[in-house]
Amino acid sequence: MKIHTALGVIFCLLVSACYYDKAEELYPSNYNQTDTSAASYSTFVAPLINNKCMNCHNVTAPILGDYSKLKLIVDNGKFNDRVIVQKNMPPSGLTNTELEKIKLWLAAGALNN
């Protein structure tokens, strides 16, 4: 009985000794809320729209395509509603990082930068 308790204690120590939180796994390194420089229109938003929206929005609902069209749906709230709140545009969804960067860009005034 005692040997079992001892083995149990050793096992617990081994298991707890091996457990540690990796900051980069809990908070992926690309999740960086202060990284506004990486969320400019030209380097991030425009390429993302081209890759993930324009295959449909050229034809079905041509509300995107250049900065002025995008700014219209940003200003009337539709962009925020569908992309950030409802998350149904694009229908396939965006990654958390993409969403965070878009939020940063919106929060900084949705500039044509």
Is residue 86 near ligand HEC by the rule CB under 6 A?
no
| 2 vs 88: CA distance, rounded Å | 59
Is residue 57 near ligand HEC by the rule CB under 6 A?
yes
| 2 vs 30: CA distance, rounded Å | 49
Calculate the alpha carbon distances from 60 to 67, 72, 101 in Å: 18, 17, 26
Selected range binding ligand HEC among 9-17, 23-31, 50-58, 103-111, rule: CB under 6 A: 50-58
Is residue 52 near ligand HEC by the rule CB under 6 A?
yes
CB neighbour list of residue 94: distance below 8 Å, 6 or more residues apart: 48, 52, 83, 87, 102
Is residue 45 near ligand HEC by the rule CB under 6 A?
no
Is residue 65 near ligand HEC by the rule CB under 6 A?
no
Which residues form the interface with ligand HEC (CB under 6 A)?
49, 52-53, 55-57, 60-61, 63-64, 73, 78-79, 82-83, 89-91
